[in-house]
Chains A and B, each alone.
Chain A
């Protein structure tokens, strides 16, 4: 039985998180808790996958140890694992069915008082990011209507997760780009510093910098930064010249 008003509030709350800065874990937590309130189940939890497709526990409707363990178990077997892999919802209406399909998982679930279980994938257009798992203390499966409701909530959650990952990846990439460009800038600046201090041309300066960074096994950009900051051993190895000389020997 779903409470319509609570459902609407939940969907609005989930959609709201898509426009503001938000915390993915907090978001998952809300989803787990609301699922329990809306669907008359005993407990719920979410597993999310990493870049290698391995699931790990992300959030639970309660901190109960037994419940948490039930997720930690599901790395290779269980309703979450199936829902994630198949990108389809799974339902086991009775304790017996649960035991038949996922024997090791069912044993632990029973100890926690859970018998029937369901899981829906968190997926969008063929990309799966995890699964939402629901536990019941009764021998009763989730109805088709309830399953639709929980899949709708999972779908909104998935959009949020994918968006947050995209932004995180973009930030990593823009930082890499800036860093790569900055390195080139400092290397050119260091060439100028060495050319001036050692009274050589910039190409010779670059050869000296490159030789030094190779022999000290350090990156060009790092050596360049130190040369510019004035705290490099480079000039110990390549002393600056005080007067102009006619030959170019170092």
Chain B
């Protein structure tokens, strides 16, 4: 029951919180833009993951970030997944580095989307990890120590903002600002339901089928899902 993480310097928290406020980070559509600006990177995304299930994106700073988030969701691999699993920051300073074997699928998709580096920071609320803050860069290179320290604080503050939104919603309700988290993936979930009937499998297996198909055909999970819902594609 540590009182605060040893690395979260109160002065840094105050500075980063103020900087985020100045950028209007209290609104869901500007939180990620604000994070990217404060961290001085090209793009950012905040995803919610709990008990190993990717529950959706809170925000993405731009279309590139959106595409990269979708790659992580489609493949079930990437810096945000690892950051959530290990509860530690994950660094991929050069996605094109030939000597890196991990994240082969993610790296390919991320490079195709136009980024060269990706970093994931776990979002911790007390003892619980609720997801991750992803930072992207259009050029290769490590984050500086200052950027890393700032990014850890950004993740912490983003967590506080998300929980702040939820604390105002009643029990059993979803915060208004978090409505787009499931809404953005509605088509994927609907397609999952349809696939589970078509293939006579559980919804968990249906998700795996959809992902596998997306990976095999080099398409975004969302696009495959749209085809299923439009009845242009069947799984059985």
Contact = CB atoms under 8 A, between A and B. Distances in A.
Interface of A: 18-22, 159, 163-164, 166-167, 170-171, 173-174, 176-185, 188-197, 202, 219, 228
B216 interface: no
B182 interface: yes
Given A167-B126, A182-B55, A177 B192 contact: no
B126 A181 contact: no
B86 interface: no
A185 to B, nearest CB: 5
B128 interface: yes
B193 A190 contact: yes
A189 B182 contact: no
Q: Which one of B48, B55, B174, B194 has the greatest number of beta carbons of chain A within 10 Å? A: B194
Closest 8 A/B residue pairs (Cβ): A192-B193, A188-B189, A184-B182, A170-B126, A192-B190, A189-B193, A196-B197, A180-B174
Given A19-B1, A196-B197, A180 B173 contact: yes
B229 interface: yes
Given A177-B163, A180-B169, A167 B127 contact: yes
A228 B204 CA distance: 11
Interface residues of B, number: 42
A195 B162 CA distance: 33
A178 B55 contact: yes
Interface in B119-135: 125-128, 130
A176 B182 contact: no
Given A174-B130, A180-B174, A192 B55 contact: no
A188 B193 contact: yes
B194 A174 contact: no
A176 B163 CA distance: 10
B166 A177 contact: yes
Contacts, number: 123
Q: Which one of A21, A192, A196 has the greatest number of beta carbons of chain B within 10 Å? A: A192
Contacts of A184: 174, 181-183
A189 B174 contact: no
B106 to A, nearest CB: 23
24 contacts: A164-B1, A170-B127, A173-B166, A174-B128, A177-B174, A180-B166, A180-B172, A181-B56, A181-B174, A181-B182, A182-B55, A184-B174, A185-B185, A188-B182, A188-B193, A189-B196, A191-B190, A192-B193, A192-B194, A193-B196, A193-B197, A202-B190, A219-B172, A228-B196
Given A166-B126, A170-B163, A171-B127, A181 B190 contact: no
A181 B1 contact: no
B127 A192 contact: no
Contact of B130 (A18, A177, A219): A177
Interface in B31-62: 48, 50-51, 53, 55-56
A196 B196 CA distance: 9
A189 B185 CA distance: 11
Given A170-B128, A177-B174, A195-B229, 12 more contacts: A163-B1, A167-B126, A170-B126, A173-B163, A176-B166, A177-B130, A177-B178, A188-B186, A188-B189, A193-B196, A194-B193, A196-B197
A22 B130 contact: no
A189 B125 contact: no
A200 to B, nearest CB: 11
Contact of B3 (A18, A180, A196): A18
Contacts of A177: 48, 50, 130, 162-163, 166, 174-175, 178
A220 to B, nearest CB: 11
B101 interface: no
